[in-house]
Amino acid sequence: MTAPRTQPRRTAIIGSGNIGTDLMHKLRRSALLDVAVMVGIDPASDGLARASALDVAVTAAGVDGLVERSDFDDIDVIFDATSAAAHRMNYARLEPTGRLVIDLTPAALGPFVVPAVNLAGLAGERNLNMVTCGGQATIPIVGALSATAHVHYAEIVASISSRSAGPGTRASIDEFTNTTARAIETVGGADRGKAIIVLNPADPPMIMRDTVSALISATDESVITGAVVARVAEVAQYVPGYRLRQQVMISSVPQQDPRRRLVGDVGQDADLAQVTVFLEVEGAGDYLPAYAGNLDIMTAAAVRVAEAAQ
């Protein structure tokens, strides 16, 4: 029997931009994790300056600067908050070390993890991918629908303020759509998935909003609604600003309706329903204002994963 851990796990963050800096503040509040090092490539970055002011060790020498530190053996968990392209290079350096790496980019080298859906089944994995902000917000809902009915098709639209989309996010737009769509299928359980992201330039900035639209085999509407409401409450345990914007919408899909083309031959004669769920995610305001829920849900979910890691 493994003895319970008495000391917080020591962690390092690669990436001193918006996501990495927000993550640092959340880690400092965790009773199970300790942020030991912040890693960047720009010595003048705001994230490194903030980390240093909080007595967190810093290096501007990238992943090499982290691995070559004398205290690297004390690091248990490494978060990569850079970009998809950078993560591929970073993990090539980190994989031989055997450390748990939690990837907050859409690189998807390791298995997808969405805490409310599949965290329990990933013990022992060394590279866990957090999908995307849109994935963390919507895949829990797709997963809840899949637990109650056959989901033939699920489409998500993630709308975020353009102010909360930093260079890493903008460099990974293609990966966002591809990675999120794949995770809708492999984690959410839909036969087919599609993802769209909208960077909204509205001023004042808009809060993150997400829409899930799914075509499912018709079943008891109260069961569907109950599953969605319960799943929203579960996600809100680690992302307090996560909530439904309005009641779950369910409608039957008539025969000959064009939407049936999305599910192929299997849905042409079946009893189908469309479920639409409107969500919003308000950030905790740790680094950026509350409208940046897209950052908040990624970092909060990543902390949840690290706290549960073995």
- Which of the pair, 54 or 256, is modelled with greater confidence? 54
Considering the domain architecture, whether residues 272 and 173 belong to the same structural domain is answered as yes
* Lowest mean per-residue pLDDT among 74-78, 109-113, 262-266: 262-266
Domain of residue 35, CATH code? 3.40.50.720
Considering the domain architecture, whether residues 164 and 273 belong to the same structural domain is answered as yes
Total number of domains constituting the chain: 2
CA 202 to chain centre: 24
Q: Please spell the DSSP secondary structure of 130-190, one letter per residue.
A: ---HHHHHHHHHHHHHHTTS-EEEEEEEEEEEGGG--HHHHHTHHHHHHHHHHHHHHTT--
What pairs with residue 278 in β-bridges? 211
Cis amide prior to 289 (ω within 30 degrees): no
294 has binding-site annotation: yes
Write out pLDDT tens, residues 95-134: 999 999 999 998 899 999 999 999 999 989 999 999 999 9
Write out pLDDT tens, residues 280-305: 999 999 988 899 999 999 999 999 99
Considering the domain architecture, whether residues 118 and 236 belong to the same structural domain is answered as no
Give the C-alpha separation, 269 to 278, whole Å: 28
Range of the domain at 66: 9-131+296-308
Considering the domain architecture, whether residues 84 and 31 belong to the same structural domain is answered as yes
Domain of residue 174, CATH code? 3.30.360.10
17 has binding-site annotation: yes
Asked, for residue 4, whether it belongs to a domain, the answer is no
Report the catalytic residues. 133
List, in order, residues 6 or more apart from 263 with CB less than 8 Å away: 152, 153, 191, 192, 215, 272
Q: What is the residue type of 29?
A: R
Considering the domain architecture, whether residues 141 and 283 belong to the same structural domain is answered as yes
List Cα–Cα distances, 18 to 60, 78, 152, 285, 294, in angstroms: 16, 17, 36, 12, 11
Considering the domain architecture, whether residues 264 and 150 belong to the same structural domain is answered as yes
Asked, for residue 3, whether it belongs to a domain, the answer is no
Q: How confident is the model at residue 175 (pLDDT cuts 50, 70, 90)?
A: confident
List Cα–Cα distances, 19 to 62, 75, 138, in angstroms: 16, 20, 19
Considering the domain architecture, whether residues 137 and 118 belong to the same structural domain is answered as no
Considering the domain architecture, whether residues 108 and 245 belong to the same structural domain is answered as no
Asked, for residue 80, whether it belongs to a domain, the answer is yes
Residue percentage of the chain with pLDDT more than 90: 83
Q: How confident is the model at residue 267 (pLDDT cuts 50, 70, 90)?
A: low
Closest CA to 290 of 232, 176, 206, 224: 206
Considering the domain architecture, whether residues 112 and 151 belong to the same structural domain is answered as no
Q: Which two tokens stand for residue 118?
A: 């599949």
Considering the domain architecture, whether residues 89 and 141 belong to the same structural domain is answered as no
What pairs with residue 14 in β-bridges? 39, 80
Asked, for residue 97, whether it belongs to a domain, the answer is yes
Considering the domain architecture, whether residues 304 and 190 belong to the same structural domain is answered as no
134 has binding-site annotation: no
Asked, for residue 190, whether it belongs to a domain, the answer is yes
pTM above 0.75, yes or no: yes
